[in-house]
Amino acid sequence: MKVLVIGGGGREHALVWKLSQSRHVDKIYCVPGNAGIAEMAECLDVGTGNFDELVNLVRYEWIDLTVVGPEEPLSRGIVDAFEKEGRRVVGPTKAAARLEASKVFSKDFMKRHRIPSAEYKVFTSYLHAEDYVRMKGAPIVIKADGLAAGKGVIVAATVDEAIEAIKRIMKDKEFGDAGNRVIVEECLQGEEASFMAFTDGKTIVPMVSSQDHKRVFDNDEGPNTGGMGAYSPAPVVTPELQDLVMEKIMLPTVNGLRAEGIKYKGILYAGLMIKDGVPSVLEFNCRLGDPETQPVLARLDSDLMDIFMAIADEKLAEVEIAWKEDAAVCVVLASKGYPGPYEKGKVIAGLDTAKEVGDAVVFHAGTSFNNGDVVTNGGRVLGVTGWGKDIGAAKERAYEAVGKICFEGMHYRKDIADKALKR
């Protein structure tokens, strides 16, 4: 079988890596891909927003299944375009993807269906939002309504920080039209975790738990990023908590959407805040998390193609999904300046040496080729993932491989998975 993966980040490299292990897959295409993906898939220079050309590619190359990685094409209706032409595709429709594409829609939906989340208020006026923040005080959370590459959420420790965030979003248009509306939200306390599940619109199967590290610096300091590392399992997600999340959050979400005339197929991701064993939803994503995908797929013991075909054909209930007992840890290597402005084109050394480290793999995120060299081409450049019998062993493997790699300005957190080790 032939499969097409849409996207070019670390999540997509992990998807290609896992799909390449499938007994069903003969050839993988990727649009646009990156330098690492190019080692195991044919990368094609087609715009991810050019749905007609992508559908034609699938038709002419006799591609059996398309897997959509990033949120942007999902939010613009790539799945609708493929389904209209009768093509198998994994991902939610444009209507379903509003859970991520519009935080206002998501919050209102959770309120309608009594899904636990923080108190909030929506604003289209900068002045009204500023007045509300001054009245509520800090800490408080400011969110741009639309997609902002994981950077549209600011946890403000002071009122001044919150007002500056509102200004950046609404006045300075740092995230463009995504900031036409803002949510001012109660700041929940507790421990964060990522909860991802496969669903075909009827059956929901949870993945193993994981935990992301959003802040750019050690000890959870500095601004939020798209993610500086992740590990699996997350000890905070106990079997009892998993059952509670399924009962109170995941099932009501899929069933609530269906009640509103929206079938949700693909990956459903809930970013959770957990306090005293009680989960609340911080946000929904309509695709696999990045970098959570890297350690989670490293632990998948089933054929990923079987799962994706079952989702597309709405037969997920017929598939047994198995996971390895091993733990896994992913450490993101980022460009200097990330999550702010950063330079590209820095030569990456040590990739071949890192491959020699056992029980580890280097997933490319922001990379490309230049005169035969692999160079940086993004803020998050690589996701170095290791696995072992427990979190400590997995962390050791990951950081051993990290130590083989270097590029100008490279920075990374040194404390990925320490939370799990301290529990």
Question: How many Cβ atoms from other residues are within 10 Å of residue 331's Cβ?
Answer: 27
Residue 281 lies in a domain: yes
Look up the CATH number of the domain holding residue 206.
Answer: 3.30.470.20
Residues 150 and 210 reside in one and the same domain: no
pLDDT at 422 over 90: no
Res 149: pLDDT = 74
* Confidence band for 86, pLDDT divided at 50, 70 and 90: very high
Mean pLDDT of the 115-124 span:
97
Whether pLDDT at 15 is above 90 = yes
Q: Considering the domain boundaries, does residue 99 fall inside one?
A: no
Domain total of the chain: 4
CATH number, domain at 356? Answer: 3.90.600.10
197 and 181 belong to one structural domain: no
From 296, 318, 340, the end of a domain falls on 318
**Domain co-membership, 366 together with 250:** no
Q: Are residues 174 and 229 in the same domain?
A: no
Question: Residue 267 domain-assigned?
Answer: yes
Output the 3-class SS for 7-35: ECCHHHHHHHHHHCCCCCCCEEEEEECCC
> DSSP string spanning 107-120?
HHHHHHTT--B--E
Is residue 391 very low, low, confident or very high in pLDDT (cuts 50, 70, 90)?
Answer: very high
Q: Tell me, yes or no, whether 331 and 414 share the same domain.
A: yes
Is 256 in the same domain as 206? yes
For residue 37, the domain's CATH number is 3.40.50.20
Q: What is the dihedral of CA 74, 80, 82, 87, to 10 degrees?
A: 120
Q: How many CB atoms lie within 10 A of CB 252?
A: 18
- Tell whether the model's pLDDT for residue 423 goes beyond 90: no
Q: Using one digit for the tens of pLDDT, what is the confidence trace for 141-197?
A: 999 999 887 778 899 999 999 999 999 999 999 999 989 999 999 999 999 999 999
**Same domain, residue pair 252 and 290:** yes
Among 135, 164, 186, residue at a domain's last position: 186
Measured CA to CA, the distance from residue 12 to residue 36 in angstroms comes to: 10
Question: Which of 76, 49, 68 minimizes the C-alpha distance to 11?
Answer: 68
- Quick one: pLDDT at residue 338? 96
Whether 343 and 409 have beta carbons less than 8 Å apart is answered as yes
| Domain carrying residue 134 | 119-186
What confidence score (pLDDT) does residue 48 get? Answer: 85
The verdict on residue 170 lying in a domain is yes
Q: Does residue 335 sit in the same domain as residue 379?
A: yes
- Bridge partners, residue 361, by sequence: 385
Instruction: Tell me what the mean pLDDT of segment 107-117 comes to.
Output: 97
Flag whether 110 is in a domain: no
CB 274 within 8 A of CB 209: no
Between the two ends of the chain, the Cα-to-Cα distance in Å is 44
The per-residue pLDDT for 167 is 95
Please check the confidence at residue 223 and state whether its pLDDT lies above 90.
Answer: no
Residue type, 377: N
**Residue reference for tokens 């799962």:** 307
| Residue 49's pLDDT band (cuts 50, 70, 90) | confident
Cα(209)–Cα(96) distance, rounded to whole angstroms? 23
Looking at the fold, whether 197 and 313 belong to one and the same domain comes out as yes
- Given the DSSP bridges, would you call strands 65-68 and 327-334 parallel, antiparallel or unpaired? unpaired
- Look up the CATH number of the domain holding residue 173: 3.30.1490.20
pLDDT, average across residues 382-399: 98
User: Is 272 found in the same domain as 238?
Assistant: yes
Mean pLDDT (the chain, rounded): 96
CA torsion through residues 239, 240, 241, 242, sign: positive
- Position 47 confidence tier, pLDDT thresholds 50, 70, 90: confident
**Per-residue pLDDT band at 224 (split at 50, 70, 90):** confident
pLDDT in tens, 247-300: 999 999 999 999 999 999 999 999 999 999 999 999 999 999 999 999 999 999
pLDDT in tens, 27-39: 999 999 999 999 9
Q: What is the CA radius of gyration of the chain?
A: 20
Same domain? For 290 and 198 the reply is yes
How large is the average pLDDT for residues 386-392? Answer: 98
Domain boundary among 94, 127, 148: 94
